[in-house]
Structures are given as structure tokens and as C-alpha cells.
Amino acid sequence: MNHVFRKGTDDSKPTLVLFHGTGGNENDLLPLADLLSPGSSVLGVRGNVLENGMPRFFRRLSEGVFDEADLIFRTHETKQFLEKAAAQYGFDANHLVAVGYSNGANIAGSLLFHYKDVFQSAVLLHPMVPLRGLTLPSLDEVSVFIGAGTNDPICPPAETRELEELLQEAGATVTMHWGNQGHRLSMEEAEAARDWLSKR
């Protein structure tokens, strides 16, 4: 997978794994990473799927309707990539924090739905429920921050609350932050995620 790795200055901090939104790339969330955890190593990943020339992490059939078979395939593909990247760059694969926005939050969420120990924590910004009908792994030791919009036209509040409940039922500790900026990532939301992550 196309990616960028930036070695951090503080090895005690987790490595942030960045997952962009539709049409983004591996560099999009680097400024956010600098805000969330200064000194952390950062791995920015670009999705392997193109939709009308725009990178994504998995295919969709229409707005809000995921190609579930492709999502599952890409989830496993991304997990394998993270394992290879950890070996290549020497970061601790057991000390990772996912940071995903929109489509990127959905692939990060799908990784949590499939793998017990993939992330220590996750910052999911405007995510949807990636898949339904799964038995989730135990997420007892995982903390999740969800940034959501009360007026988000793509991720309605009911969808966000469903995701919160599914993660909590699997044992995750979930912190919600609600804003009113639609589907846009706001500075208030980013700063709330930073403050949350600083306490992990």
C-alpha cells in the first residue's frame, strides 16, 4: 500500500496510523497527527481502491452502502500491511493508535471489528457501522474516541450511537464528542481528540 512513515522523537509514545477520507492520500492527516500526539511516529496509509479517481480504502455500492465483500478483503489486506510495515520500520505493532476520518474511520472500525489486538486506541472521526451481524473480538483493553456531528448528513446520529453500542458491548471504552459541523472535521473536534489521547 502507498504510504509515508515518519519516525518520531519519543519512543514512549504510540505510533499513529492514519487513514484518510475519500479522495485523500497518505499525507492528508499528518497535520492532525502533529496536533494529536507530538513526538509520535506516524504511518500514513493510502487506500488501494479508486472511485472516480479518488482513493478509498474499500468499494461502496452507493453513498452509505458498502461493498461488504470488498470491505472484508481490504480489512485483511490492511492488517497484513501493518504487520509488514512494523517489521520494515521497527515500530511496536502492539502500541498503535488508529486515526481515521470518514472512509478511513470505517476501515479502522472494521479492523477493530475483526482483530482483537490491532489497535490500543482509535480516534474515529465521523465513522459509520462498518459491518453488521459480526461477533466482535474482545475489546476490553481498547479505548475509542468517536467524533460525530449532530447534523452529519452522511453519518446520522442513530448510526453513530449504534457503533458506540457495538463497541461497548465488545468491551471497549468509548468516548463520544458531538459537534454541529456536519461531516467536516473541526478544530474543536481535533482538540477534544488530542485531550482524550493525552490521557491514555
Cell numbers at 58, concatenated: 474499500
Which is catalytic among the residues 41, 102, 110, 121? 102
Please indicate whether residue 183 is annotated as part of the active site: yes
From the number of C-beta atoms within 10 Å of its C-beta (0-12, 13-18, 19+), residue 176 rates as middle
- Side-chain half-sphere CA neighbours of 186 within 13 A: 14
List the catalytic residue out of 40, 126, 152, 177: 152
User: How is the beta sheet containing 42-45 ordered, strand by strand?
Assistant: 3-6, 42-45, 15-19, 96-101, 121-125, 143-149, 173-179
Amino acid code (one letter) for 71: L
Distances (CA, A) of 118 to 50, 95, 114: 25, 9, 9
165 secondary structure, DSSP code? H
- Whether 126 sits among the annotated catalytic residues: the reply is no
Catalytic residue of the set 67, 70, 183, 186: 183
Give the CA-trace dihedral at 148, 184, 35, 123, to 10 degrees: 30
The gap from C-alpha 179 to its chain's centroid, in whole angstroms, comes to 18
Q: Determine whether 102 is an active site residue.
A: yes
Nearby residues of 129 by Cβ (< 8 Å), 6 or more positions away? 109, 159, 162, 163, 166
Which residues are known catalytic residues?
102, 152, 183
